[in-house]
Structure 1
Amino acid sequence: MKTIGFIDYFLDEWHAEKYPAWIEAASGGELRVAYAYGMTDKPGGLTNAQWCERKGIELLPTIEAVVDKSDFLIVLSPDFPEYHEELSRLPLQSGKPVYIDKTFAPDRETALLLFERARQSGTPMYSSSALRFAAEYETMDRDGIETILSVGPGKFANYSIHQIEPIVALMGTDVRQVMFTGTAESPALLIGFAHGRQATVNHFGDGASFGMIANYRSGNARTVKIESEFFQAFIRNLIRFFQTGEGAVDPAETVAIITIIEYGLKAAETPYQWLKLPTA
């Protein structure tokens, strides 16, 4: 059996709660979350010690201890990506496979820094939204997409990645500009790709489902509503990464996704104006 260490801002959160049982089940017991570290206790929630006791996971006092004792590492903090640089510093020097949870980084500069740290130390690393692995997106033809209209729930800051990740996976990394077109209650972002191709990200209330319409040069369109078990597909991919050391996502795609999110937040300050994205 191989062990996984969690490194989190605080451990009492949805991803940390669900991943251990999913990983153990999907790996047939070959992988198990055995160790964990939390930077702070969740305000109003379980302490890290309480969480670990309830889950049967050993709480360790430092990130270094988790890195030393674990075969594989998961840096969580899914809703606090501003801590990913600090939480992943030692993991990315370890040479052990590291998965960094969504959203990978708070900005493009940090994303590039994290990939460079992993490269310098030869540490396998990747990050992704689980939505990338939805069966409905994976069966879509990527060739000839002219426009995409994407919809989903949640706030732009921490949920836009679930729409932007599939868009970039389908349309590529040649992103030129973004324009905010939504409202405070229902954010929307227009993404301009090379050769006039475009995609729109639309956020609605909690009752909204993830899905998209893709229009092709042929004049045909494809409509999908996400109903598959995308988290289970993601977990299977994560296990494959730990077993092989090969990440499923091109770093250029992850950097493009983070750049879109960073500049999308900036574009919200000046709606209906194009904001050019850096390309170098």
Structure 2
Amino acid sequence: MRKIGFIDYFLDEWHAEKYPDWIDKATNGRIQVAYAYGKTNVDGKLSNAEWSQKKGVQLLDSIEEVVEKSDYLVVLSPDHPEYHEELSRHALQSGKPTYIDKTFAPDRAAALRMFELADKHRTPMYSTSALRFAAEYAGSEKQGIESINSLGPGKFDNYAIHQVESIVSLMGTDVRRVMWTGTDKTPSLLIGYADGRQATINLYGWECPFNMALSYEAGTSKFLKIESDFFGAFIENLVGFFDSGMPPVLQAETIAIATILDVGMKAAKTPYQWLQLPK
């Protein structure tokens, strides 16, 4: 059996709750979450010790110990990406396959530092939104997309990643500028590509399902409602990464996504004005 170590801000959260069973089932027990570390306990949540006892995972006292004992590493903290650089530092120096949960980094500078550290120590590493692997996106023609209008739930700071990731996976990384066109309650960001193509993301509250309209240069359109088991597809992808050591998402895409989100947050302070992305 190959062993995964979880590194998290606190362990009683949805991703840490679901991933162990999903990975166990996807590999018939060949790969299992064996170790975990949580930086803190949070009021109203199970303590890290209680979570570990409930899940049958050994709680360790330090990140270093998790890194040493594990074959593969998963840095979680999905809603607190500001801790990702700190939590992943030892993992990225380990040379062991490391997955870092969404949102990868709170800003472009942190994203670049994390990839630089992983590259220096030859650590296979990637990050992604699970939504990238939705069958509806995988079955869509990428060539000739002229514009995308995307809708989904949540707040910009921790849910915009899902729509931006999907857009970059379909349209590429050559984004030059962004413009905030939303409100406090309904965030919206216009994404401008170097060649004039455009995409918009719109967040319309927790009841809004993920939807996307694609327009092609040929004059055709495609409308998607995401209903497939994208988390199941993501877990299969994650297991494949652990087996191969080959990151399935391009570094350039993850850096572009982090940059769009970073500048997008700044654009919220200057609505209806283009902000240029650093090259």
Q: TM-score, normalised by structure 2?
A: 0.99
Q: Report SS of the residue matched to 1:190.
A: strand
Report if aligned partners of 1:41, 1:47 keep a CA contact under 8 Å in 2.
yes
Q: Distance in 2 between matches of 1:37 and 1:240?
A: 24
Dislocated runs of 4+, deviation >4 Å: none
Give the match for residue 56 of structure 1.
Answer: 56
Q: Identity, % of aligned pairs?
A: 63
Give the match for residue 216 of structure 2.
Answer: 216
Give the match for residue 41 of structure 1.
Answer: 41
Report if aligned partners of 1:11, 1:42 keep a CA contact under 8 Å in 2.
no
Q: Distance in 1 between matches of 2:128 and 2:247?
A: 10
CA offsets, 1:111-157, max 9 Å, x none? 01111101000100000000000000011100011100000000000
Q: Distance in 1 between matches of 2:216 and 2:232?
A: 30
Give the match for residue 167 of structure 1.
Answer: 167
Give the match for residue 239 of structure 2.
Answer: 239
Report if aligned partners of 1:8, 1:77 keep a CA contact under 8 Å in 2.
yes
Report if aligned partners of 1:79, 1:158 keep a CA contact under 8 Å in 2.
yes
Amino acid at match of 1:106: P
Map 1:139-178 → 2, pairs under 5 A: 139-178=139-178
Amino acid at match of 1:254: T
Give the match for residue 197 of structure 1.
Answer: 197
Q: Report SS of the residue matched to 2:273.
A: coil
Unaligned runs of 5+ in 1: none
Give the match for residue 248 of structure 1.
Answer: 248
The CA RMSD over aligned residues, in Å, is 0.5
Q: Distance in 1 between matches of 2:143 and 2:111?
A: 28
Q: Distance in 2 between matches of 1:152 and 1:198?
A: 18
CA offsets, 1:152-188, max 9 Å, x none? 0000000001000010001100000000001100000
Residue correspondences, number: 279
Q: Report SS of the residue matched to 1:182.
A: coil
Q: Distance in 1 between matches of 2:191 and 2:43?
A: 36
Q: Distance in 2 between matches of 1:85 and 1:195?
A: 33
Give the match for residue 8 of structure 1.
Answer: 8
Amino acid at match of 2:269: E
Q: Report SS of the residue matched to 1:86.
A: helix
Q: TM-score, normalised by structure 1?
A: 0.99
Give the match for residue 274 of structure 1.
Answer: 274
Q: Report SS of the residue matched to 1:157.
A: helix
Q: Distance in 2 between matches of 1:206 and 1:277?
A: 29
Q: Distance in 1 between matches of 2:146 and 2:164?
A: 16
Q: Distance in 1 between matches of 2:199 and 2:257?
A: 13
Q: Distance in 2 between matches of 1:42 and 1:21?
A: 23
Q: Report SS of the residue matched to 2:248.
A: coil
Amino acid at match of 1:80: H
Instruction: After TM superposition, give the deviation of residue 43 of structure 1 in Å.
Output: 2.1
Q: Distance in 1 between matches of 2:211 and 2:233?
A: 17
Instruction: After TM superposition, give the deviation of residue 205 of structure 1 in Å.
Output: 1.4
CA offsets, 1:211-262, max 9 Å, x none? 2001000000011100000000000000000000011100000000010001
Q: Report SS of the residue matched to 1:260.
A: helix
Q: Distance in 2 between matches of 1:237 and 1:69?
A: 23
Q: Report SS of the residue matched to 2:177.
A: strand
Q: Report SS of the residue matched to 1:89.
A: helix
Amino acid at match of 1:233: A
Amino acid at match of 2:112: L
Report if aligned partners of 1:64, 1:90 keep a CA contact under 8 Å in 2.
yes
